[in-house]
Amino acid sequence: MTEFSVRRAECFCCSVDHKGPDSSEDLFCDRELVEACIISWFGSVETFESEVQSKLFASFERQLGRYAFPYHWLICSMSPALWAHMDMMGALARISDLNGAMAQGMYALSFWLCSYPLFFVWCVKSAAVLRKKRRGYSSDALVSVGGALAGAVPACSVWWISHLHESLGVHETISSAVLLVLLSIVTILVWQAPCR
C-alpha cells in the first residue's frame, strides 16, 4: 500500500481504448469519474494517495485484526462448538454430576475463547511460513502434508492437557480452571503481541 498510485490503477475502459468490446461505441472513462470523486472528497489525487499510503493499512489492521479476522469474529464463528459443550454440561447436570458440569463449563470457555482462536492463529502463521512455492510437486506435497500434521500439535496438546488431571490425580474442576487461566493468559499475550 505504500506504493499505491491512482495513475497506475488499471481501468477496463482505458485498456480497450474507450471503445465497446462488442461495438465501436465510445465508452465513458471510468478513470475520469473516479478521479473527479477523489478530488471532490479529498481535494486532490495526491492527498488521497498520501492517505492510502500512510493510513489505510493501519486502519485495516485495526478493523480486521492482525490475523485477518478480529478476535470477536472468531468467537462468533465458534459458537456452535460452545453449544456442543453446553449440551455436555446439561447432560452432566441432569445426572447430578455438578463437578463434571462445572469442569465441562470451564473446558467450554477454554476451548471457545482460547483454544480455537489460538489454533486459528497457529494455522494462519503456518500458512504464511509455508506459502512459498517449492521446486517440484513432491516437495510441495511434502511441505503441505508437514504443515497439516503440524496443525495436530496444538490440538493434541490441548487434548492431552485437558486429560492430564487423570494421570496426576488432580480434581477435574481444578485442572479445568487452571487450563482456563493458562490459556487465557496465552490468548491475551498472542492477541496483544506486536505485529511481525
The end-to-end CA distance of the chain, in Å, is: 17
Cell of 22: 462488442
Domain co-membership, 110 together with 170: yes
Domain co-membership, 80 together with 27: no
Q: What is the pLDDT of residues 89-122, one digit of tens each?
A: 999 999 999 988 998 899 899 889 988 888 888 8
Q: Does residue 154 belong to any structural domain of this protein?
A: yes
Q: What is the pLDDT of residues 34-48, one digit of tens each?
A: 889 889 998 988 888
Low-confidence ranges of the chain (pLDDT < 70): 1-2, 57, 60-68, 193-196
Domain co-membership, 50 together with 98: no
Is the whole-model pTM more than 0.75?
no
Domain co-membership, 54 together with 124: no
Parent domain of 87: 71-192
Q: Does residue 183 belong to any structural domain of this protein?
A: yes
Domain stop point among 64, 85, 104 = 64
Q: How many CB atoms lie within 10 A of CB 89?
A: 20
